[in-house]
Structure 1
Amino acid sequence: MSTPVSTIRNLGPAFEASCTAAGIKDAETLRALGPDAAYAKILTTGTKPHFIGYYVLVMALQGRPWNDCKGDEKAALRKRFDTLKAANKPSAQNALDQLLDEIGVRKP
């Protein structure tokens, strides 16, 4: 059975759309990948990296409120995020497509 990503607490339709674009079709796949592998896949689609989005994902997959991350745990997550961001840059084509969309050159 396939469960929508947006059924996971703290993850809404926008995050679900990012997952779909990255080939993560359901909550089961997202949970199986885990936060780091899933976020890495999302970054390679050209999604702009946001630390808050990353740690919300981590908290969501742990079943915790999004704002439960504090102190040393948050600092450790920041290091993981920075590593993911550096290692998973979008492909040149995805980056070009994203830029063209932002300036309105391509039709939606």
Structure 2
Amino acid sequence: MSDPVSSIRNLGPAYEESCKRAGIYSAQELRDLGADEAYGRLLQSGSKPHFIGYYVLVMALQGRPWNDCKGEEKKALRKRFDAIVAASYDKGRSEFEAALDAIGVIEKRR
């Protein structure tokens, strides 16, 4: 059996549940996807964007404390976060519509 998402430092049961909703079931799957792809999937599955949640994920996948992100690195991560949100989060769509979009039934709103 593979290790759960919550086996990664800084990621607890709530993050693990969010990952499951996004179709990410193990720590290895999360590592293989990487932070940006995984966070995009979290947003597409209904999670609301939150910068701290994103950089906690980045730090966790690097094996660093969640609050280790500072200065220029944090600014660069903010730009990546904004790009992921722009590409993956549709605040005008209901969770039901987002689910239909995820399975390819309806198109993403612009």
TM bin, normalised by shorter chain, reads 0.7 to 0.9
Q: How far 1:94 sits from its partner (Å)?
A: 1.7
Residue 46 of structure 1 deviates from its aligned partner by: 1.2
User: What is the distance in 1 between the residues matched to 2:37 and 2:96?
Assistant: 20
Is the Cα contact below 8 Å between 2:31 and 2:61 reproduced in 1?
yes
Offset of 1:96 from its aligned partner? Answer: 6.0
Distance in 1 (alpha carbons) for counterparts of 2:48 and 2:39: 11
Q: Report deviation, 1:92.
A: 3.1
Which digits, 9 at most, give the CA deviation of each residue in 1:65-84, with x for residues without a partner? 00000000000000000000
The amino acid of 1:64's aligned partner reads R
- 1:46 corresponds to: 46
Give the corresponding residue for 1:21. 21
- In structure 2, relative to structure 1, the CA distance for the partners of 1:87 and 1:95 (3 Å cut) is farther
Give the superposed CA RMSD: 1.7
CA distance in 2, matches of 1:11, 1:82: 21
- Compared with structure 1, are the counterparts of its residues 62 and 80 closer, same or farther at alpha carbon in structure 2 (3 Å cutoff)? same
What TM-score do you get using the length of structure 1 for normalisation? 0.84
TM-score, with normalisation over the residues of structure 2? 0.83
Aligned sequence identity (%): 65
| Aligned equivalents of 1:10, 1:95: Cα separation in 2 | 30
Q: How many equivalent residue pairs?
A: 97
1:92 alignment partner, SS class: coil
Cα deviation for residue 14 of structure 1 reads 0.4
Partner letter of residue 34 of structure 1? G
Aligned partner of 2:104 in structure 1 is none
